Amino acid sequence: MQDDVQVCVVPVCDVSSFLQKPMVKEIGLSLLAFILLAVLIRSFIARGKRRGGGRGRGGSTGGGNGSCVEIYVGNLSYDMTEAQLRQAFEKYGTVQSARIIENRYNKKSKGFGFVEMPVRSEAESAVKALHDKDVMGRKMRVNEAKNKTRD
């Protein structure tokens, strides 16, 4: 038994002849350029968000320029602020930025952060002095950050 199926094809218009009209050609090219630009902008924004927005990401107090020593600081108290983290490292030298990584949804600390110090000798002395030091009831884990990008 065969079903009675009817296929109806309705020609809307001949697209190639429609695009040849001068008014449509100008509007079509402008619209196409606009859409392409919007897609490119969106992809660059999305790429920046995936990478964390550059060196000074996460609300750091100063932008990094790539010549600083980036120090990983782990096992932080969840109550520690970026100002307190900066203050702990400023005892050993100049701090360019200090940031504590937060959960993106509830904005609570994840218990680790990064400090950037422009002078390597100061950074090394801070790492030696602060590693395994008890701060706010927790022993901090401090060492030079290994990877600077998430690619």
Is residue 113 within a helix (H) or strand (E), and if so which, with residue range?
Answer: strand 109-117
Could you read off the pLDDT of 89-145 as tens digits, one per residue? Answer: 999 999 999 999 999 999 999 999 999 999 999 999 999 999 999 999 999 999 999
69-144 belongs to which CATH class? alpha beta
Question: At residue 24, does pLDDT exceed 70?
Answer: no
What is the spatial distance between Cα 59 and Cα 79, in angstroms, rounded to a whole number?
17
Could you read off the pLDDT of 65-96 as tens digits, one per residue? Answer: 568 899 999 999 999 999 999 999 999 999 99
The two three-digit tokens of residue 145, written as one number:
């950050």
User: Can you give the residue ranges of every domain in the chain?
Assistant: 15-50, 69-144
In sequence order, the β-bridge partners of residue 97 are 116
Q: What are phi and psi of 135, to 5 degrees?
A: -130, 120
Residue 59 CB neighbour total at 10 angstroms: 13
Q: How far is CA 102 from CA 39, 81, 92, 108, 120, in A?
A: 29, 11, 25, 5, 27
- Provide the H-helix boundaries in 1-151: 15-19, 22-50, 82-90, 120-130
Instruction: Indicate the pLDDT class of residue 15, thresholds 50, 70 and 90.
Output: low
